[in-house]
Amino acid sequence: MTEPSVVERLYFGHDEAEQDMANGLLRAGFLQTAAYDAAVSGRKMLIIGRKGSGKSAICVHLGEQGGHEGATVTITPDDAAGDEIRRFELEGLSGDTAKSLIWRYVFAVHAARHLTVHAREFHGRREPDSVKDLRKFLRDNGELPGARLADFAAQGRDRLQAAGLQLGAFGFQIGVDLGHAASEGARAGRQLEVLEEHVALAFRDLGCAGSHQPLLLLVDQLEKVWSAQADANSMVIGLLLAAKDVAVKYPGAVRCLVFLRSDIYDSLTFGEGDKFRSYEMRIDWPVAQLRRLALSRARASVHPALGEAELWQEVFPRQVEGEETPSYLFSRTLPRPRDAIQYLNLCRDRALQNGRGQITESDVVEAGRQFSAWKLQDLALEYLVAHPFLESLLGLFTNTGYVVTRAALQSRLVQERAELERRYPAYTESFTPEVVIGILYSVGFLGVRRGEEIVYAGGFDRPLQAGEKEFHIHPCFREALGAHDAVPITPYSAALRVPGLSGRSTSPDRDFELLRGVAGACDGVLRLISRAEGLPADTRQDLATEVQRLRRETLDALDDPRGPAAGPLQDAEGHVSGAVGHLRRWASALRDCGLEDRAGEIGAQALARRLDSQATGLYARLGGFTGSTGEGNSSG
């Protein structure tokens, strides 16, 4: 039996961390990042990142045996649990505070369950009375191991609302010790405090703090129960308040880590939001780290000794379209592991489908087309809850240039706003250039020009500024949109003509004079293009290429061996008419892109004016303006 090739064994992982942990790839290929270190060390309790950025990978890794030296509990709310928590309200308390109580109850019960097992396994058979009291409390309230989060969230909700927690195990009687006159919120809060005090007492009696690693509560996948509604936001805010409170209630004995999608966290508005800054850790994936991730996963699937040079020079091609392969790949993905893994796997799959034992440049390019289509669809789905109209906005950029200006976007919105408002009447205030650009920047679709750099959201750069006018579609989405060029430049074609000014028979001298005018116009435009530093480099190159094609065809006609005495050239005026049409189209493309000329530089608008001027001069030579020859516009 033939041994599988390197490409056949190569695999970078699944889309979900749970599957990679099950097959061992996450354990073997896990990359310890700054976010992971911050979580493990206890410096941060709130790990924030986009979908696919590796939050769940950290959570799953910590939750597995050996991932954290102490005990862990993973809490992932489902729809039922989310519904119970969202519906939890208490008289006398705000929605955020009320929902923080139900989360505190969840944490306290998990801690109590842990203690009843931990005391016997690690502290001997002789239990402190405080641990026995917790075991009795759990039994009295039906909070036995194995119950679903939704079940004891529902029980906690009902008992806290009705002051129905059985606290006899702690010698506490609601009617006697609290009084019937207290508000619903005060009664619930006092019940919860009694439970938390006795959980903390049990930790102290066992001497857990400092003697071993703390219990780690891992809360993940909140996006499954979040809906961008007020009660869902309160549910998340309540979680954050309760998670921060854990360190105070059970110092050194329990820590809580919350893994939260950045779009959810950034949408929250609450009074204590500024108090969470020191708890936040936003996941960032620079290209160098994505390269490390790719190598780590490749080694896990192929061989631990696989070298970086071998991966990027032998398994993958050295270059793709003149660019180093890792740079090519990772500049065309959003900066997160899931995107990188999907693109790398696609390259591998394409090579196998093509019957190759090595990934080639064409495999990478073909995979890129499929990947771009996936990502355009995925982006709309990722933000479907917060921005249900996003797919329609993305459609505004089909078959356009990848450079976008505020002015150009405003022009597109003017044409499409009525239809957008008809389809999404609840979001009419979102369809302004300022709001649309803000959304498209925040989701990573657009980057902003800052000096010579294009900056995309997700790092640690400053937020979008009102005066910033030039934006670029992320390379990840350009293939799917057909946005291959910064500014779409119509390819030169001899078939283009200005109606009514072609096909007339003229003298040879006039034919040659007209053609010299076209050649002179091309020379003038090319000279200006060479100095147009304010134009995107690829636009400058594309335009120069097309003008040179027009010039070359013109010179070929001028070099016709028949010469002027041989009679009129075949449709010379048609050729000049075509030149006028192309010059006007190129001018229109530059003008409509909205790129403004910067001080001291020749940019799109200056070049558009020159193209229009040359077109006007040639048009006049053809007789488009009575009595004008356009001599002054022939040389540029």
Q: Where are the domains of the chain?
A: 34-282, 286-381, 390-481, 508-633
Q: Residues near 469 by Cβ (< 8 Å), separated by ≥ 6?
A: 405, 406, 407, 594, 596
CA pair distance 211, 213, nearest whole angstrom: 7
pLDDT digits (tens, 9 = 90+) for 573-605: 888 888 999 999 999 999 988 888 888 889 999
Most confident among 126-130, 149-153, 433-437, 530-534 (mean pLDDT): 433-437
Tokens describing residue 617: 């001069």
Structural element, H or E, at residue 29: helix 25-29
Tell me how far apart the alpha carbons of residues 280 and 34 are, in angstroms, rounded to a whole number. Answer: 12
Q: Are 515 and 550 in contact (CB under 8 A)?
A: no
Average pLDDT over residues 542-549: 95
What does the pLDDT look like over 250-271, one tens digit per residue? 999 999 999 999 999 988 988 8
The answer to whether 321 and 328 have CB atoms below 8 angstroms apart is: yes
**Element (DSSP H or E) covering residue 319:** strand 319-320
Would strands 46-49 and 280-282 be described as parallel, antiparallel, or unpaired? Answer: parallel
286-381 has CATH 1.20.120 classification: no
The pLDDT of residue 305 is above 90: yes
In 3D space, the residue among 196, 205, 140 whose CA is nearest the CA of residue 168 turns out to be 140
Return the HEC string of 546-576: HHHHHHHHHHHHHCCCCCHHHCCCCCHHHHH
Spatial CA neighbour of 109 closest among 73, 76, 70: 73
Contacts of 419 (CB under 8 A, 6+ apart): none
In this structure, which topology does domain 508-633 adopt according to CATH? Answer: Four Helix Bundle (Hemerythrin (Met), subunit A) (1.20.120)
Radius of gyration of the chain (CA): 33
C-beta atoms surrounding 304 within 10 Å: 7
pTM, 2 dp? 0.83
CB 262 within 8 A of CB 50: yes
For residue 80, name the pLDDT band (cuts at 50, 70, 90). Answer: confident
Grade residue 225 by pLDDT with cuts at 50, 70 and 90: confident
Say whether pLDDT at 13 is over 50. Answer: yes
Q: Which residues contact 320 (CB under 8 A, 6 or more apart)?
A: 328, 329, 361, 364, 365
